Chain A
Amino acid sequence: MVAIAMERVSVWYGRVKALNDVSLEVQPGSVLALIGPSGCGKSTLLRVLNRLIERTPSARVAGRVLVDGRDILAPDVDLALLRRRVGMIFQRPVSFPFSIFDNVAYGPRLHGMKNPHQLRQVVEASLKQAALWDEVRGKLRRPAHGLSGGQQQRLALARALAVNPEIILMDEPTSALDPGSAARIEELVVQLKGRYTVLIVTHNLQQAARVSDFTGFLDRGQLIELGETSLIFTAPRDRRTEAYLTGQFE
Protein backbone atom coordinates (compact mmCIF):
# COMPACT_ATOMS: atom_id res chain seq x y z
CA MET A 1 0.00 0.00 0.00
CA VAL A 2 1.21 3.52 -0.67
CA ALA A 3 1.96 5.69 2.35
CA ILE A 4 0.43 8.84 0.96
CA ALA A 5 -1.93 9.34 -1.94
CA MET A 6 -3.13 12.77 -3.00
CA GLU A 7 -5.99 12.83 -5.45
CA ARG A 8 -6.68 16.05 -7.30
CA VAL A 9 -5.84 18.26 -4.35
CA SER A 10 -6.33 21.99 -4.73
CA VAL A 11 -5.77 24.69 -2.14
CA TRP A 12 -6.95 28.27 -2.17
CA TYR A 13 -5.83 31.12 0.07
CA GLY A 14 -8.84 33.37 -0.28
CA ARG A 15 -9.12 33.66 -4.04
CA VAL A 16 -5.54 32.77 -4.78
CA LYS A 17 -5.06 29.19 -5.87
CA ALA A 18 -1.90 27.83 -4.26
CA LEU A 19 -2.19 24.18 -5.32
CA ASN A 20 -3.85 23.14 -8.54
CA ASP A 21 -5.16 19.62 -8.96
CA VAL A 22 -2.15 17.85 -7.52
CA SER A 23 -2.17 14.07 -7.56
CA LEU A 24 0.74 12.00 -6.32
CA GLU A 25 1.66 8.83 -4.49
CA VAL A 26 4.47 8.26 -2.04
CA GLN A 27 5.84 4.80 -1.33
CA PRO A 28 6.33 3.87 2.31
CA GLY A 29 9.90 4.25 3.52
CA SER A 30 10.93 6.43 0.61
CA VAL A 31 12.17 9.99 0.54
CA LEU A 32 10.34 12.38 -1.73
CA ALA A 33 11.96 15.75 -2.43
CA LEU A 34 9.75 18.61 -3.53
CA ILE A 35 11.51 21.29 -5.53
CA GLY A 36 10.36 24.36 -7.37
CA PRO A 37 10.54 28.13 -7.35
CA SER A 38 9.45 30.15 -4.31
CA GLY A 39 5.69 30.32 -3.90
CA CYS A 40 5.06 27.26 -6.07
CA GLY A 41 3.05 25.54 -3.33
CA LYS A 42 5.62 23.14 -1.88
CA SER A 43 5.09 24.18 1.71
CA THR A 44 1.34 24.32 1.18
CA LEU A 45 1.45 20.70 0.03
CA LEU A 46 3.24 19.65 3.22
CA ARG A 47 0.80 21.58 5.38
CA VAL A 48 -2.13 19.77 3.82
CA LEU A 49 -0.69 16.45 4.91
CA ASN A 50 -0.84 17.24 8.65
CA ARG A 51 -3.68 19.72 8.19
CA LEU A 52 -1.61 22.49 9.73
CA ILE A 53 -2.96 24.46 6.77
CA GLU A 54 -6.07 25.00 8.87
CA ARG A 55 -4.17 27.54 10.97
CA THR A 56 -4.43 29.85 8.00
CA PRO A 57 -8.02 31.08 8.27
CA SER A 58 -8.39 31.88 4.57
CA ALA A 59 -7.19 28.47 3.37
CA ARG A 60 -9.58 26.04 1.68
CA VAL A 61 -8.68 22.53 0.58
CA ALA A 62 -10.40 20.36 -2.04
CA GLY A 63 -9.64 16.83 -3.18
CA ARG A 64 -8.74 13.65 -1.36
CA VAL A 65 -5.66 12.91 0.70
CA LEU A 66 -5.15 9.35 1.84
CA VAL A 67 -2.65 8.46 4.51
CA ASP A 68 -2.44 4.67 4.89
CA GLY A 69 -5.61 4.44 2.87
CA ARG A 70 -7.69 6.71 5.09
CA ASP A 71 -8.98 10.10 3.97
CA ILE A 72 -7.42 12.62 6.31
CA LEU A 73 -9.51 15.52 5.06
CA ALA A 74 -12.66 13.91 6.41
CA PRO A 75 -14.29 15.98 9.17
CA ASP A 76 -14.22 13.16 11.71
CA VAL A 77 -10.46 12.65 11.53
CA ASP A 78 -8.68 12.65 14.89
CA LEU A 79 -6.23 15.50 14.35
CA ALA A 80 -4.08 14.57 17.33
CA LEU A 81 -3.69 11.05 15.99
CA LEU A 82 -3.00 12.25 12.45
CA ARG A 83 -0.31 14.63 13.64
CA ARG A 84 1.25 11.94 15.77
CA ARG A 85 1.64 9.86 12.65
CA VAL A 86 2.73 12.76 10.48
CA GLY A 87 5.55 14.69 12.13
CA MET A 88 6.96 17.98 10.89
CA ILE A 89 10.25 19.87 10.95
CA PHE A 90 10.23 23.55 10.09
CA GLN A 91 12.60 25.85 8.28
CA ARG A 92 13.63 27.75 11.36
CA PRO A 93 14.53 25.37 14.18
CA VAL A 94 11.83 25.61 16.81
CA SER A 95 12.76 24.93 20.42
CA PHE A 96 10.36 25.63 23.22
CA PRO A 97 11.91 27.62 26.06
CA PHE A 98 12.08 24.47 28.14
CA SER A 99 14.94 22.12 28.95
CA ILE A 100 16.31 19.79 26.30
CA PHE A 101 14.57 16.90 28.03
CA ASP A 102 11.21 18.66 28.23
CA ASN A 103 11.41 19.61 24.56
CA VAL A 104 11.74 16.00 23.48
CA ALA A 105 9.26 14.78 26.09
CA TYR A 106 6.67 17.36 25.02
CA GLY A 107 4.99 15.13 22.43
CA PRO A 108 4.92 11.90 24.47
CA ARG A 109 3.53 13.84 27.42
CA LEU A 110 0.77 15.28 25.23
CA HIS A 111 -0.23 11.77 24.39
CA GLY A 112 -0.40 10.70 27.98
CA MET A 113 3.00 9.25 28.78
CA LYS A 114 3.70 10.03 32.44
CA ASN A 115 6.05 7.34 33.67
CA PRO A 116 9.42 9.11 34.17
CA HIS A 117 11.40 5.98 33.37
CA GLN A 118 9.53 5.45 30.13
CA LEU A 119 9.93 9.12 29.23
CA ARG A 120 13.67 8.94 29.82
CA GLN A 121 13.91 5.99 27.53
CA VAL A 122 11.95 7.66 24.75
CA VAL A 123 13.95 10.87 25.09
CA GLU A 124 17.25 9.02 24.97
CA ALA A 125 16.23 6.87 22.01
CA SER A 126 14.93 9.89 20.08
CA LEU A 127 18.05 11.96 20.75
CA LYS A 128 20.19 9.05 19.62
CA GLN A 129 18.18 8.70 16.44
CA ALA A 130 18.59 12.41 15.78
CA ALA A 131 22.35 12.08 16.38
CA LEU A 132 22.24 14.61 19.20
CA TRP A 133 22.68 12.30 22.16
CA ASP A 134 26.45 12.45 22.36
CA GLU A 135 26.39 16.24 22.48
CA VAL A 136 23.69 16.65 25.11
CA ARG A 137 23.98 13.58 27.34
CA GLY A 138 24.27 14.70 30.94
CA LYS A 139 22.98 18.16 29.98
CA LEU A 140 19.35 17.27 29.43
CA ARG A 141 18.18 19.70 32.10
CA ARG A 142 19.82 22.66 30.37
CA PRO A 143 17.68 25.09 28.38
CA ALA A 144 17.29 24.08 24.75
CA HIS A 145 17.92 27.67 23.68
CA GLY A 146 21.56 27.25 24.59
CA LEU A 147 22.04 24.86 21.67
CA SER A 148 23.33 25.96 18.29
CA GLY A 149 20.98 26.30 15.32
CA GLY A 150 22.02 22.96 13.87
CA GLN A 151 21.64 21.26 17.24
CA GLN A 152 18.22 22.82 17.69
CA GLN A 153 17.12 21.46 14.33
CA ARG A 154 18.25 17.99 15.36
CA LEU A 155 16.43 18.53 18.66
CA ALA A 156 13.30 19.35 16.65
CA LEU A 157 13.80 16.12 14.75
CA ALA A 158 14.21 14.19 18.02
CA ARG A 159 11.02 15.80 19.31
CA ALA A 160 9.17 14.74 16.18
CA LEU A 161 10.57 11.20 16.37
CA ALA A 162 9.60 10.88 20.04
CA VAL A 163 5.93 10.43 19.18
CA ASN A 164 6.84 7.63 16.81
CA PRO A 165 5.53 8.98 13.50
CA GLU A 166 5.31 7.10 10.21
CA ILE A 167 5.73 10.12 8.00
CA ILE A 168 8.04 13.09 8.50
CA LEU A 169 7.50 16.36 6.69
CA MET A 170 10.51 18.63 6.38
CA ASP A 171 9.96 22.19 5.24
CA GLU A 172 13.36 23.45 4.05
CA PRO A 173 15.01 21.97 7.13
CA THR A 174 18.52 23.14 6.32
CA SER A 175 18.03 26.54 4.72
CA ALA A 176 18.60 28.36 8.03
CA LEU A 177 21.69 26.31 8.91
CA ASP A 178 25.39 26.53 8.17
CA PRO A 179 26.77 24.01 5.65
CA GLY A 180 28.20 21.67 8.27
CA SER A 181 24.91 21.47 10.21
CA ALA A 182 23.01 21.10 6.95
CA ALA A 183 25.17 18.13 6.01
CA ARG A 184 24.40 16.42 9.31
CA ILE A 185 20.66 16.84 8.74
CA GLU A 186 21.07 15.39 5.26
CA GLU A 187 22.89 12.37 6.69
CA LEU A 188 20.01 11.91 9.10
CA VAL A 189 17.45 12.00 6.31
CA VAL A 190 19.34 9.24 4.57
CA GLN A 191 19.42 7.24 7.80
CA LEU A 192 15.70 7.71 8.37
CA LYS A 193 14.98 6.28 4.95
CA GLY A 194 13.30 2.89 5.10
CA ARG A 195 11.90 3.35 8.60
CA TYR A 196 10.03 6.55 7.86
CA THR A 197 8.41 8.06 4.83
CA VAL A 198 9.99 11.47 4.37
CA LEU A 199 8.77 14.45 2.36
CA ILE A 200 11.38 17.15 2.14
CA VAL A 201 10.88 20.58 0.61
CA THR A 202 14.15 22.11 -0.48
CA HIS A 203 15.59 24.91 -2.56
CA ASN A 204 18.87 23.09 -2.68
CA LEU A 205 18.86 20.92 -5.80
CA GLN A 206 22.05 19.06 -4.84
CA GLN A 207 20.43 18.23 -1.56
CA ALA A 208 17.35 16.85 -3.31
CA ALA A 209 19.60 14.78 -5.55
CA ARG A 210 21.63 13.47 -2.61
CA VAL A 211 18.89 12.45 -0.18
CA SER A 212 15.79 11.56 -2.15
CA ASP A 213 14.49 8.51 -3.97
CA PHE A 214 11.84 10.48 -5.79
CA THR A 215 11.63 14.12 -6.77
CA GLY A 216 8.60 16.19 -7.59
CA PHE A 217 8.81 19.52 -9.37
CA LEU A 218 6.12 22.08 -8.64
CA ASP A 219 5.50 25.27 -10.48
CA ARG A 220 2.72 27.76 -9.79
CA GLY A 221 0.72 25.27 -7.78
CA GLN A 222 0.97 22.50 -10.34
CA LEU A 223 2.89 19.29 -9.99
CA ILE A 224 4.75 19.39 -13.28
CA GLU A 225 6.44 16.07 -12.94
CA LEU A 226 7.33 13.46 -10.36
CA GLY A 227 9.65 10.54 -10.80
CA GLU A 228 12.74 8.78 -9.63
CA THR A 229 15.31 11.33 -8.59
CA SER A 230 18.00 9.93 -10.88
CA LEU A 231 15.68 10.28 -13.86
CA ILE A 232 14.37 13.72 -12.98
CA PHE A 233 17.88 15.09 -12.67
CA THR A 234 19.30 13.42 -15.76
CA ALA A 235 16.39 13.15 -18.14
CA PRO A 236 13.43 15.32 -17.17
CA ARG A 237 10.46 14.82 -19.41
CA ASP A 238 9.06 18.29 -19.08
CA ARG A 239 10.70 21.33 -20.58
CA ARG A 240 9.90 23.44 -17.49
CA THR A 241 11.63 20.95 -15.18
CA GLU A 242 14.68 21.06 -17.34
CA ALA A 243 14.65 24.84 -17.38
CA TYR A 244 14.43 24.94 -13.59
CA LEU A 245 17.16 22.38 -13.06
CA THR A 246 19.51 24.20 -15.39
CA GLY A 247 18.89 27.50 -13.72
CA GLN A 248 16.98 29.16 -16.53
CA PHE A 249 14.06 29.73 -14.22
CA GLU A 250 13.10 32.21 -11.50
Chain B
Amino acid sequence: MERHACNGWIERWQARLLGAATLLVATLVLTITLILVVGAAKFLQSRGWRIQVLLGAHWNPLAGHFEIGLFIVDTIIVTALAMALTLPFGLGVAVFGAYVAGWRERAALRWLLTIFAAVPSVAMGWWGLAVVVPSVRRIFGGPGFSLLAAGAVLAVMLLPTFSLLALEVLDKVPEDWHQASLALGASEDQNLLQMALKVSLPGLKTAFLSAVARAMGETVAVQMVIGGAVYGFHGVLGPGATLTTQILTDMAILPLGHPAHGVLDLMALILLVALMLLTTWAQRGDDRP
Protein backbone atom coordinates (compact mmCIF):
# COMPACT_ATOMS: atom_id res chain seq x y z
CA MET B 1 0.00 0.00 0.00
CA GLU B 2 2.65 2.42 1.04
CA ARG B 3 4.68 1.81 -2.10
CA HIS B 4 1.63 2.43 -4.22
CA ALA B 5 0.97 5.73 -2.50
CA CYS B 6 4.59 6.71 -2.94
CA ASN B 7 4.55 5.83 -6.62
CA GLY B 8 1.39 7.80 -7.12
CA TRP B 9 3.03 10.86 -5.64
CA ILE B 10 6.11 10.50 -7.78
CA GLU B 11 4.10 9.88 -10.89
CA ARG B 12 1.96 12.93 -10.25
CA TRP B 13 5.07 15.09 -10.02
CA GLN B 14 6.64 13.45 -13.01
CA ALA B 15 3.57 14.23 -15.03
CA ARG B 16 3.60 17.82 -13.81
CA LEU B 17 7.29 18.29 -14.63
CA LEU B 18 6.91 16.80 -18.08
CA GLY B 19 3.84 18.93 -18.68
CA ALA B 20 5.73 22.01 -17.56
CA ALA B 21 8.59 21.21 -19.93
CA THR B 22 6.16 20.90 -22.81
CA LEU B 23 4.49 24.13 -21.81
CA LEU B 24 7.88 25.84 -21.73
CA VAL B 25 8.67 24.74 -25.28
CA ALA B 26 5.27 25.84 -26.53
CA THR B 27 5.67 29.19 -24.77
CA LEU B 28 9.11 29.70 -26.28
CA VAL B 29 7.89 29.03 -29.81
CA LEU B 30 4.90 31.31 -29.31
CA THR B 31 6.99 34.07 -27.71
CA ILE B 32 9.57 34.03 -30.49
CA THR B 33 6.86 34.15 -33.11
CA LEU B 34 5.01 36.87 -31.24
CA ILE B 35 8.08 39.07 -30.89
CA LEU B 36 8.78 38.75 -34.60
CA VAL B 37 5.15 39.42 -35.49
CA VAL B 38 4.99 42.53 -33.31
CA GLY B 39 8.33 43.82 -34.62
CA ALA B 40 7.35 43.15 -38.22
CA ALA B 41 3.91 44.69 -37.79
CA LYS B 42 5.32 47.86 -36.24
CA PHE B 43 7.79 48.17 -39.08
CA LEU B 44 5.16 47.60 -41.75
CA GLN B 45 2.92 50.15 -40.07
CA SER B 46 5.70 52.72 -40.12
CA ARG B 47 5.92 52.10 -43.86
CA GLY B 48 2.18 52.49 -44.29
CA TRP B 49 1.69 48.76 -45.04
CA ARG B 50 3.05 49.21 -48.51
CA ILE B 51 3.49 45.99 -50.46
CA GLN B 52 6.53 47.63 -52.04
CA VAL B 53 8.48 46.58 -48.94
CA LEU B 54 8.14 42.96 -49.98
CA LEU B 55 8.31 43.37 -53.73
CA GLY B 56 10.83 46.16 -54.19
CA ALA B 57 14.59 45.82 -54.42
CA HIS B 58 15.80 49.12 -53.07
CA TRP B 59 17.81 48.37 -49.95
CA ASN B 60 19.85 51.05 -48.27
CA PRO B 61 19.30 51.02 -44.54
CA LEU B 62 21.46 54.07 -43.86
CA ALA B 63 19.40 56.09 -46.33
CA GLY B 64 16.14 54.68 -45.06
CA HIS B 65 15.30 52.33 -47.93
CA PHE B 66 14.03 48.96 -46.81
CA GLU B 67 12.76 46.77 -49.62
CA ILE B 68 13.46 43.11 -49.23
CA GLY B 69 12.13 41.65 -52.49
CA LEU B 70 15.63 40.97 -53.80
CA PHE B 71 16.50 38.87 -50.76
CA ILE B 72 13.36 36.81 -51.14
CA VAL B 73 14.14 36.17 -54.80
CA ASP B 74 17.77 35.32 -54.05
CA THR B 75 16.73 32.96 -51.27
CA ILE B 76 14.44 31.12 -53.66
CA ILE B 77 17.09 30.96 -56.40
CA VAL B 78 19.88 29.75 -54.10
CA THR B 79 17.58 27.10 -52.59
CA ALA B 80 16.44 25.96 -56.02
CA LEU B 81 20.02 25.72 -57.28
CA ALA B 82 21.07 23.74 -54.23
CA MET B 83 18.17 21.31 -54.58
CA ALA B 84 18.70 20.89 -58.32
CA LEU B 85 22.28 19.86 -57.62
CA THR B 86 21.55 17.74 -54.55
CA LEU B 87 18.56 15.81 -55.85
CA PRO B 88 20.21 13.73 -58.62
CA PHE B 89 23.41 13.08 -56.69
CA GLY B 90 21.62 12.35 -53.44
CA LEU B 91 19.17 9.98 -55.09
CA GLY B 92 22.04 8.27 -56.86
CA VAL B 93 23.92 7.79 -53.63
CA ALA B 94 20.78 6.51 -51.90
CA VAL B 95 19.96 4.02 -54.65
CA PHE B 96 23.55 2.81 -54.66
CA GLY B 97 23.55 2.44 -50.88
CA ALA B 98 20.18 0.72 -50.71
CA TYR B 99 20.28 -1.58 -53.74
CA VAL B 100 23.69 -1.80 -55.35
CA ALA B 101 26.22 -1.82 -52.55
CA GLY B 102 27.09 -4.89 -50.55
CA TRP B 103 26.69 -4.68 -46.81
CA ARG B 104 30.33 -3.69 -46.30
CA GLU B 105 30.17 -0.82 -48.79
CA ARG B 106 26.85 0.21 -47.36
CA ALA B 107 28.20 0.41 -43.83
CA ALA B 108 31.17 2.43 -45.07
CA LEU B 109 28.88 4.72 -47.03
CA ARG B 110 26.62 5.35 -44.05
CA TRP B 111 29.60 6.09 -41.85
CA LEU B 112 31.01 8.48 -44.42
CA LEU B 113 27.71 10.30 -44.92
CA THR B 114 27.15 10.62 -41.17
CA ILE B 115 30.60 12.15 -40.70
CA PHE B 116 30.03 14.37 -43.71
CA ALA B 117 26.71 15.56 -42.30
CA ALA B 118 28.42 16.68 -39.11
CA VAL B 119 30.86 19.08 -40.82
CA PRO B 120 30.10 22.54 -39.38
CA SER B 121 28.75 25.06 -41.85
CA VAL B 122 31.58 27.51 -41.31
CA ALA B 123 33.99 24.81 -42.48
CA MET B 124 31.87 24.27 -45.58
CA GLY B 125 31.88 28.02 -46.18
CA TRP B 126 35.64 28.09 -45.83
CA TRP B 127 35.93 25.26 -48.35
CA GLY B 128 33.55 27.15 -50.61
CA LEU B 129 35.73 30.22 -50.37
CA ALA B 130 38.84 28.22 -51.22
CA VAL B 131 37.44 25.96 -53.93
CA VAL B 132 33.96 26.85 -55.17
CA VAL B 133 34.32 30.61 -55.57
CA PRO B 134 37.59 30.40 -57.59
CA SER B 135 36.13 27.56 -59.66
CA VAL B 136 33.01 29.54 -60.53
CA ARG B 137 35.23 32.50 -61.41
CA ARG B 138 37.47 30.35 -63.61
CA ILE B 139 34.69 28.47 -65.39
CA PHE B 140 32.05 31.16 -65.81
CA GLY B 141 33.96 34.37 -65.28
CA GLY B 142 32.65 37.16 -63.06
CA PRO B 143 33.55 37.65 -59.44
CA GLY B 144 33.03 34.04 -58.38
CA PHE B 145 31.11 35.18 -55.34
CA SER B 146 27.66 34.35 -56.61
CA LEU B 147 24.28 32.72 -56.13
CA LEU B 148 25.69 29.73 -58.00
CA ALA B 149 28.60 29.41 -55.56
CA ALA B 150 26.14 29.63 -52.66
CA GLY B 151 23.89 27.01 -54.26
CA ALA B 152 26.84 24.69 -54.87
CA VAL B 153 28.14 24.96 -51.30
CA LEU B 154 24.64 24.39 -49.98
CA ALA B 155 24.22 21.39 -52.26
CA VAL B 156 27.34 19.79 -50.83
CA MET B 157 26.07 20.51 -47.31
CA LEU B 158 22.66 18.98 -48.01
CA LEU B 159 23.96 15.96 -49.87
CA PRO B 160 24.81 13.76 -46.87
CA THR B 161 21.61 14.43 -44.96
CA PHE B 162 19.40 14.06 -48.00
CA SER B 163 21.19 10.89 -49.12
CA LEU B 164 20.93 9.34 -45.67
CA LEU B 165 17.22 10.13 -45.39
CA ALA B 166 16.53 8.86 -48.90
CA LEU B 167 18.60 5.74 -48.23
CA GLU B 168 16.53 4.99 -45.13
CA VAL B 169 13.34 5.44 -47.14
CA LEU B 170 14.48 3.10 -49.92
CA ASP B 171 15.73 0.61 -47.36
CA LYS B 172 12.25 0.44 -45.86
CA VAL B 173 10.71 -1.02 -49.02
CA PRO B 174 9.94 -4.58 -47.89
CA GLU B 175 11.94 -7.42 -49.39
CA ASP B 176 8.60 -9.11 -50.15
CA TRP B 177 7.72 -6.33 -52.56
CA HIS B 178 11.04 -6.61 -54.37
CA GLN B 179 10.61 -10.34 -54.74
CA ALA B 180 7.01 -10.05 -55.92
CA SER B 181 8.02 -7.44 -58.46
CA LEU B 182 11.03 -9.39 -59.74
CA ALA B 183 8.99 -12.60 -59.82
CA LEU B 184 6.70 -10.92 -62.34
CA GLY B 185 9.65 -10.43 -64.63
CA ALA B 186 10.69 -6.90 -63.69
CA SER B 187 14.28 -6.05 -64.54
CA GLU B 188 16.30 -4.38 -61.79
CA ASP B 189 15.72 -1.02 -63.48
CA GLN B 190 11.99 -1.59 -63.79
CA ASN B 191 11.85 -2.74 -60.20
CA LEU B 192 13.58 0.46 -59.14
CA LEU B 193 11.62 2.90 -61.27
CA GLN B 194 8.17 1.36 -61.33
CA MET B 195 8.03 -0.09 -57.86
CA ALA B 196 10.68 0.97 -55.33
CA LEU B 197 10.92 4.67 -56.16
CA LYS B 198 7.20 4.89 -56.71
CA VAL B 199 6.27 3.44 -53.34
CA SER B 200 9.00 5.55 -51.69
CA LEU B 201 7.72 8.83 -53.11
CA PRO B 202 6.04 10.05 -49.90
CA GLY B 203 9.19 9.40 -47.87
CA LEU B 204 11.42 10.90 -50.54
CA LYS B 205 9.20 13.98 -50.57
CA THR B 206 9.75 14.36 -46.84
CA ALA B 207 13.50 14.01 -47.27
CA PHE B 208 13.42 16.55 -50.08
CA LEU B 209 11.39 19.10 -48.15
CA SER B 210 13.59 18.73 -45.08
CA ALA B 211 16.55 19.50 -47.32
CA VAL B 212 14.74 22.52 -48.76
CA ALA B 213 14.06 23.78 -45.25
CA ARG B 214 17.69 23.36 -44.31
CA ALA B 215 18.81 25.15 -47.48
CA MET B 216 16.57 28.12 -46.79
CA GLY B 217 17.72 28.43 -43.23
CA GLU B 218 21.48 28.07 -43.73
CA THR B 219 23.34 31.29 -43.10
CA VAL B 220 27.06 31.31 -42.46
CA ALA B 221 28.24 29.10 -45.31
CA VAL B 222 26.09 31.05 -47.75
CA GLN B 223 27.24 34.39 -46.41
CA MET B 224 30.86 33.42 -47.00
CA VAL B 225 30.47 32.81 -50.74
CA ILE B 226 27.46 34.80 -51.95
CA GLY B 227 29.14 38.16 -52.19
CA GLY B 228 26.57 40.19 -50.28
CA ALA B 229 25.47 42.47 -53.13
CA VAL B 230 22.28 44.32 -52.26
CA TYR B 231 21.94 46.68 -55.22
CA GLY B 232 19.92 44.99 -57.90
CA PHE B 233 19.87 41.49 -59.31
CA HIS B 234 23.09 40.31 -60.93
CA GLY B 235 22.03 36.94 -62.25
CA VAL B 236 22.93 33.51 -61.04
CA LEU B 237 26.63 34.10 -61.69
CA GLY B 238 26.63 37.43 -59.88
CA PRO B 239 26.65 38.21 -56.17
CA GLY B 240 23.50 38.56 -54.13
CA ALA B 241 22.14 38.23 -50.64
CA THR B 242 19.50 36.01 -49.09
CA LEU B 243 17.14 36.72 -46.22
CA THR B 244 19.40 34.89 -43.79
CA THR B 245 22.66 36.45 -44.90
CA GLN B 246 21.19 39.94 -44.94
CA ILE B 247 19.97 39.60 -41.36
CA LEU B 248 23.52 38.63 -40.45
CA THR B 249 24.97 41.55 -42.39
CA ASP B 250 22.67 44.25 -41.07
CA MET B 251 22.10 43.23 -37.49
CA ALA B 252 24.99 45.48 -36.50
CA ILE B 253 23.64 48.62 -38.15
CA LEU B 254 20.02 47.96 -37.21
CA PRO B 255 20.35 47.03 -33.54
CA LEU B 256 17.47 46.55 -31.16
CA GLY B 257 15.85 49.91 -30.53
CA HIS B 258 16.69 51.24 -33.98
CA PRO B 259 13.48 52.45 -35.63
CA ALA B 260 14.05 50.12 -38.59
CA HIS B 261 15.08 47.10 -36.56
CA GLY B 262 11.66 45.71 -37.36
CA VAL B 263 12.62 45.00 -40.96
CA LEU B 264 14.92 42.27 -39.67
CA ASP B 265 11.99 40.92 -37.63
CA LEU B 266 9.99 40.88 -40.83
CA MET B 267 12.69 38.95 -42.69
CA ALA B 268 13.05 36.45 -39.87
CA LEU B 269 9.28 36.06 -39.71
CA ILE B 270 9.07 35.32 -43.43
CA LEU B 271 11.72 32.61 -43.02
CA LEU B 272 10.04 31.21 -39.94
CA VAL B 273 6.64 30.97 -41.60
CA ALA B 274 8.12 29.46 -44.77
CA LEU B 275 9.99 26.81 -42.76
CA MET B 276 6.93 26.06 -40.64
CA LEU B 277 4.86 25.48 -43.76
CA LEU B 278 7.57 23.34 -45.33
CA THR B 279 7.99 21.23 -42.22
CA THR B 280 4.27 20.69 -41.84
CA TRP B 281 3.98 19.72 -45.47
CA ALA B 282 6.99 17.42 -45.16
CA GLN B 283 5.50 15.59 -42.19
CA ARG B 284 2.18 15.18 -43.90
CA GLY B 285 3.93 13.31 -46.69
CA ASP B 286 5.36 10.81 -44.24
CA ASP B 287 2.11 9.00 -43.45
CA ARG B 288 2.83 5.87 -45.41
CA PRO B 289 -0.04 3.54 -46.11
User: Which A residues contact B (CB, under 8 angstroms)?
Assistant: 50, 52, 55, 57, 79-84, 87-88, 90, 92, 94, 96-98, 106-107, 109-111, 143, 145, 156, 159-160, 163
Contacts and interface: CB of A to CB of B under 8 A. Distances in A.
Given A97-B289, A143-B289, A52 B182 contact: yes
Contact of B179 (A55, A87, A97, A159): A55
B177 to A, nearest CB: 6
Given A79-B185, A106-B194, A107-B185, A96 B180 contact: yes
Contact of B184 (A98, A110, A145): A110
Nearest to B186: A110
Contacts of B177: 94, 96
A84 B186 CA distance: 9
Contact of B194 (A55, A88, A110): A110
A160 B185 CA distance: 10
5 contacts: A52-B179, A80-B187, A87-B184, A96-B177, A163-B185
B275 to A, nearest CB: 29
B195 to A, nearest CB: 6
A55 B182 contact: yes
Interface string B167-210: 00000000011111111111100100011001100000000000
A80 B114 CA distance: 37
Contacts of B199: 96-98
B176 A94 contact: yes
Contacts of A159: 180, 184
Contact of A87 (B102, B178, B183, B186): B183
B195 A96 contact: yes
B176 A110 contact: no
Contacts of A160: 183-184
Contacts of B288: 97
Interface residues of B, number: 20
Contact of A94 (B102, B180, B185, B194): B180
B289 A80 contact: no
A55 B177 CA distance: 13
A82 B179 CA distance: 14
Q: DSSP class of A's interface residues: helix, strand, loop or mixed?
A: helix
A92 B176 contact: yes
B288 to A, nearest CB: 8
B171 to A, nearest CB: 15
A110 B186 CA distance: 6
A84 B198 CA distance: 22
A212 to B, nearest CB: 22
B184 A106 contact: yes
Given A90-B176, A97-B289, A145-B289, A163 B184 contact: yes
A80 B185 contact: yes
Contact of B183 (A52, A57, A96, A143): A52
B184 A107 contact: yes
Given A96-B199, A110-B186, 4 more contacts: A79-B185, A84-B184, A87-B183, A107-B185
The 9 A-B residue pairs whose C-beta atoms are closest, nearest first, are: A83-B185, A94-B180, A107-B184, A88-B183, A80-B185, A84-B185, A94-B176, A97-B289, A110-B186
A43 to B, nearest CB: 11
A163 B187 CA distance: 15
Nearest to B180: A94
Contacts of A83: 182-185
Contacts of B184: 83-84, 87, 106-107, 110, 159-160, 163
A109 B195 CA distance: 12
A106 B194 CA distance: 9
A121 B24 CA distance: 61
Nearest to B289: A97
Contacts of B187: 79-80
Interface string B194-236: 1100110000000000000000000000000000000000000
Contacts of A57: 102
Contacts of B289: 97, 143, 145
Given A92-B176, A97-B289, A50 B194 contact: no
B198 to A, nearest CB: 8
Contacts of B181: 96, 106
Contacts of A98: 198-199
B183 A81 contact: no
A55 to B, nearest CB: 7
A237 B288 CA distance: 53
Contacts of A107: 184-185
Contacts of B176: 90, 92, 94
Contacts of A111: 185
